Amino acid sequence: MAQAQLNGGLIYTDTARCIGCQDCIRKCPVQRANFVAVDENGTDKIQVNGNECIFCGKCIDVCTHGARQFRDDCSAFFADLKYGKKISLLVSPSFFLNYTNEHKNILGYLKSLGVNKFYNVSLWADLTIWAYLNYIRNNNATVMISQPCPAIVSYIKKHQPKLLDFLMPFQSTIMCVAIYLKKYLKINDDLAILGPCIGRKEELESPHTKNLIRYNVTYLSLMRHINKAGIDLNTYPEFYDESNLGISNLISLPGGFRENLEFYLGDDVHICQTENEQQVYEYLKGILDKKHDSVTPRLILVDNCKRGCAYGTATEFRHTVNNNIQIAAEKLREIKNVASLNGDNLQSKTESFAKLNEKFKDLKLQDFMCCYTNKSISKQNVKD
């Protein structure tokens, strides 16, 4: 029988701050992720069952008492750098949108601490697009669910396992880049992610990702570390290594992944996008009941975060409107032709697809595929 993992997961409750208001329960898409306990003073304390939690961040969003917190690898990352471990950093595309003015100094600070190399994930994000396109063109599946979002994948594995067969059988973009670096470029460094997502850690610990990446360093934890230490980023030389904004940074924005796919697919595949935080999980519950016979095949893109990864669960600006993000996004979206942004003058999607296949002709598609484990737990099998 599975033992409930209370407060031992990525999201947990600081019980000293919890007043038992139950706002977290009311907003949680998975009621069983919350466990109500009564302390010695008769006060309800709402703890988190890590076996059921999908790391969507809703409880953190609504907790006005600061009781809901999350764990990542920021402390271990800094400790291991200090110890002298050779670590290279995968930088998520949304980092350059969140810190359009500061990113060079932040990377300079991390470089001063010993980070070996920086890899801008956006420069290889089309690797996932390439994998999706080839799978769609070579398979007759009529319903496919994208899987770049860890919270969505966690929800399906734990609470809607019947949908596992509909998930695209590929690793996330960041994991695809890690596979490419390790297998094809023979990078031996330990790898860390600098990213916007709490749930990414579960992906890193999955047996299907083979421990390719060791650290999940979130923007929120990184900036808290910098601010707590009183670090003046302006005192660090700007470090700029493959960090140009490109079209793949659109993946971090609402509808960005869809825009990249639609450029190549045109009308050949009907793409449905759902990113309403209040409805996305209800939508997933009903997928098997929906009819998809009008247009086939159908690709369903679902995201946990309404405004995209740029406002992910572990970002500083999740609850605000960051004008820098908006301005950077507008500049990217002004260029409607994806190929022209990449310096190509291709006119047709057929030529574009051929160019993409040529770029990755030495890669094996199966190297980037993955399978999923059913992690659902029946209510009767969970002990308090």
DSSP 330-379: HHHHT---HHHHTT----SHHHHHHHHHHHTTTS-GGGGB---------G
108 plus 240 within the same structural domain? yes
Q: Which domain holds residue 36?
A: 2-71
116 plus 45 within the same structural domain? no
121 plus 31 within the same structural domain? no
Decide if 104 is inside a domain: yes
Contact present, 57 and 198 (Cβ < 8 Å): yes
Q: What is the pLDDT of residue 168?
A: 92
Q: Is the pLDDT of residue 37 over 50?
A: yes
234 plus 356 within the same structural domain? yes
65 plus 89 within the same structural domain? no
Distance CA(85)–CA(81), nearest Å, equals 5
Which domain-ending residue is among 71, 88, 114? Answer: 71
Reported confidence tier of residue 337, pLDDT bands at 50, 70, 90: very low
Decide if 294 is inside a domain: yes
262 plus 325 within the same structural domain? yes
Which domain-ending residue is among 40, 71, 102? Answer: 71
210 plus 289 within the same structural domain? yes
Q: What is the pLDDT of residue 185?
A: 93
Decide if 249 is inside a domain: yes
Number of domains in the chain: 2
Decide if 360 is inside a domain: yes
Rounded to two decimals, the pTM is: 0.88
State the DSSP string of 37-68: EE-TTS-EEEEEBTTT-----HHHHH-TTS-E
- pLDDT tens-digit series, residues 192-248: 999 999 999 999 998 877 789 999 999 999 999 999 999 999 999 888 654 444 445
Which domain-ending residue is among 53, 71, 89? Answer: 71
**Nearest partner of 16 among 70, 50, 65, judged by Cα:** 65
Please tell me what DSSP assigns to residue 100: T
% pLDDT > 90, the chain: 50
Decide if 373 is inside a domain: no
Q: Tally Cβ neighbours within 10 Å of residue 197.
A: 30
3-state secondary structure at position 249? helix
38 plus 96 within the same structural domain? no
116 plus 60 within the same structural domain? no
Decide if 83 is inside a domain: yes
Decide if 217 is inside a domain: yes
**Nearest partner of 36 among 58, 4, 10, 60, judged by Cα:** 4
Decide if 375 is inside a domain: no
% pLDDT > 70, the chain: 81
44 plus 114 within the same structural domain? no
Amino acid making up residue 227: N
CATH at 56: 3.30.70.3270
Distance CA(237)–CA(104), nearest Å, equals 8
- pLDDT tens-digit series, residues 129-178: 899 889 988 887 777 888 789 999 999 999 999 999 999 999 999 999 99
99 plus 210 within the same structural domain? yes
56 plus 108 within the same structural domain? no
